[in-house]
Amino acid sequence: MEQIMSLIKERDPEQREFHQAVQEVVETVKPVLDRNMEYRQQAVLKRITEPERVIMFRVPWMDDDGQVQVNRGFRVEMNSALGPYKGGLRFHPSVNLGIIKFLAFEQVFKNSLTTLAMGGGKGGSDFNPKGKSDGEVMRFCQSFMAELYRHIGPNTDVPAGDIGVGAREIGYLFGMYKKLKNEFTGVLTGKSLAWGGSLIRPEATGYGNVYFAAEMLATRGQTMEGKTCLVSGSGNVAQFTTEKILQLGGKVVTLSDSSGYIYDEAGITKEKLDYVKQLKNIQRGRIAEYAKQYPEAVYTPVDANQDANPIWAHKADCAMPCATQNEINKQDAAHLVAGGVFLVSEGANMPSTPEAIDILLDNGLLYAPGKAANAGGVAVSGLEMAQNSMRLSWPREEVDARLKHIMKSIHKTCLDAASEYGAGQNYLVGANIAGFTKVVNAMLDQGLV
C-alpha cells in the first residue's frame, strides 16, 4: 500500500486531491487484497490508479471585447471495465489535472455502485463562467467541443454536467457536437427534455442524496420528518437536496456559495427555494441576496482561508455538504459533532478531509461518502442513456421510482460489503470495497489491457 502511494506521489507530486482520493480507497480495500492473492499478482492497484487515457487541449475563444482568451481543457478516461467512460465536466478556475483525476477516480467506484453499465471519466476546464455573457459561454463551449468531439461518443465516453456546467452549457456543447459529427445521439446527458433529456435528471443527485440519508435514518428507526439540516452550496445538488428534505418533512436552515452562507432559523420554505433557483440559475447572483430578500435570515461572509467554516457550527441533526471538495475540515467536523449532528450525507464529491472523516466515524455518526450518496445523478444519466438508445422517454414517476430503487440498492450493497469485512455500519469501507471489487473483477475477466 505504501509502495503504491509513493509511486503515485513520485509520478505526479503536485496532484494532492488525487493522492487523497487514492489513499482513502487503498486503505479501505487492503483486506480485500489480503483475501485474494490474484489481485496482488495482477497489480490491480497499479492499474486502477493509472488513467486509461488523459486528453489535454487548448481552448481558444474570443471574449465580448474582441480579445482572444486561452483556457485549458481536460478529459480523463479513467476506467472502461464496466462500460463507456461516464462522468461530468467541471468549469471552474481551480480546475487542474489533479482535480480532474481525483474526480475521475471517484467516478469509477461510484458508477460501479449504481448497478448500471458505466465506466468512469471526468473532464472540464479552468474557464470561469462567473460574470461571462451567454455569448462568451457559448463561444467557449463551442471551442471546447471542437476538440473534445473526436474523443467521445454514445458508446465511448458520455460527459455530463458538474460545477459550472448546467443545462445552458450542455445545450451549447451538444449543438456543436451535432454540427461536427452530423448525428443526433445521446453523447451527453443532462440534456433538455425537448431534445433527449430525461425527466428527474436535474433533481437526481440531490433527491438521491436524501433517499440515501433516509435509508441510513431507517436503520435507526427514524425518518427525515422534523430533522433540521445544514446544506452547503446553492447550485444544482444543494437545491434539490433541499427540495427533497422539505418534501420529506425536514427543515433546511443554511445554503452557501464561495463568498459566504445564509442561516435562516425559520427554515427555507418552498417559496424561498424557488427564489434561490431563480437567483442562482437565471440571474446568476450571489447567495448574499437571499438575506436582502428575506431579512429574517443572516448572511455571513466566509473567507476560503478561515480555519473553520461557521456554517458547520450551527445546531442541527443532519449535514449535507453539496458545494465542493474538502469543505469540511477537522475543526468543522468537531463543530458538527458538538452541534448535535448525527448524520452526514455527501452531495458533493470528497467534501470531507480524511481527518474530518475520522472524527465523524470516531463519534459514531452515520456518514455516507459522496461516491455512494451522490450516485443518483450519474445513475439517472445512465437511465437517460438507456432512454436515448430506445428513443423513448419514461414518465417522471418511473424515473423517480428507479432512482429510489437504485439508492436503496447502493445502501444495501454498502452495508453488505462492510459487514462481510467486519466493518459494521461503515459506509465508506462498504462503498469502496463493493465498488472496487466489481471493477477489478471485470478488469481481470478482460485480461491485461
Write out the binding residues for substrate: 86, 107, 110, 161, 381
What cell numbers appear for 162 in the block?
458538474
Q: 298 forms bridges with which residues in the sheet?
A: 263
Task: Determine, following the binding rule CB under 6 A, whether residue 349 of this chain makes contact with ligand AKG.
Answer: yes
Task: Determine, following the binding rule CB under 6 A, whether residue 86 of this chain makes contact with ligand AKG.
Answer: yes
Task: Pick between residue 28 and residue 349 the one whose CB is nearest to ligand NAI.
Answer: 349
What cell numbers appear for 7 in the block?
509511486
Task: Determine, following the binding rule CB under 6 A, whether residue 381 of this chain makes contact with ligand AKG.
Answer: yes
Least Cβ distance, residue 35 to ligand AKG (angstroms)? 29
Active site (annotated) includes residue 30: no
Residue 189 contact among ligand NAI, ligand AKG, none, beta carbon within 5 to 8 Å by kind: ligand AKG
Residues 6+ apart with CB under 8 A from 367: 343, 344, 357, 360, 361, 427, 428
State how beta strands 157-161 and 298-301 pair: unpaired
Task: Pick between residue 157 and residue 257 the one whose CB is nearest to ligand AKG.
Answer: 157
Task: Determine, following the binding rule CB under 6 A, whether residue 234 of this chain makes contact with ligand AKG.
Answer: no
Least Cβ distance, residue 104 to ligand NAI (angstroms)? 11
State how beta strands 251-257 and 228-231 pair: parallel
Q: How far apart are CA 207 and CA 400, in angstroms?
A: 9
Q: How far apart are CA 337 and CA 360, in angstroms?
A: 7
Spot the catalytic one: 9, 30, 122, 132. 122
Q: 234 near 257, Cβ under 8 Å?
A: yes
Residue 26 contact among ligand AKG, ligand NAI, none, beta carbon within 5 to 8 Å by kind: none
By the 10 Å C-beta count (0-12 exposed, 13-18 middle, 19+ buried), 183 is classed as: exposed
Residue 87 contact among ligand NAI, ligand AKG, none, beta carbon within 5 to 8 Å by kind: ligand AKG
Q: Which residues bind ligand NAI (CB under 6 A)?
A: 161-164, 166, 205, 233-238, 256-258, 322-324, 347-349, 374, 377
Q: Which amino acid is at 140?
A: F
Residue with cell 472540464: 124
Number of C-beta neighbours around residue 392 at 10 A = 8
Q: 256 forms bridges with which residues in the sheet?
A: 261
Q: How far apart are CA 107 and CA 252, in angstroms?
A: 28
Q: How far apart are CA 256 and CA 312, in angstroms?
A: 11
Q: How far apart are CA 409 and CA 320, in angstroms?
A: 20
Number of C-beta neighbours around residue 390 at 10 A = 9
Q: Which residues does the annotation place in the binding site?
A: 86, 107, 110, 161, 205, 236, 381
Task: Determine, following the binding rule CB under 6 A, whether residue 187 of this chain makes contact with ligand AKG.
Answer: no
Task: Pick between residue 83 and residue 250 the one whose CB is nearest to ligand AKG.
Answer: 83
Q: What is the largest CA-CA distance in the chain?
A: 63
Which listed range, 86-94, 252-260, 305-313, 427-435, lies at the site for ligand AKG (CB under 6 A)?
A: 86-94
Q: Which residues does the annotation place in the binding site for NAD(+)?
A: 205, 236
What cell numbers appear for 281 in the block?
440559475
Least Cβ distance, residue 348 to ligand NAI (angstroms)? 3
- Residue 449, SS3 per DSSP: coil
Residue 234 contact among ligand AKG, ligand NAI, none, beta carbon within 5 to 8 Å by kind: ligand NAI
Q: Which helix (H) or strand (E) holds 30?
A: helix 16-35
Task: Determine, following the binding rule CB under 6 A, whether residue 87 of this chain makes contact with ligand AKG.
Answer: yes
Task: Pick between residue 107 and residue 432 the one whose CB is nearest to ligand AKG.
Answer: 107
Which position among 51, 83, 88, 250 is part of the footprint of ligand AKG (CB under 6 A)? 88
- The residue with its CB nearest to ligand AKG is 88
Which position among 79, 189, 254, 325 is part of the footprint of ligand AKG (CB under 6 A)? 189
Task: Determine, following the binding rule CB under 6 A, whether residue 160 of this chain makes contact with ligand AKG.
Answer: yes
Residue 86 contact among ligand NAI, ligand AKG, none, beta carbon within 5 to 8 Å by kind: ligand AKG
Question: Which residues sit at the interface with ligand AKG, rule CB under 6 A?
Answer: 86-88, 107, 110, 160, 162, 189, 349, 374, 377-378, 381
Active-site positions?
122
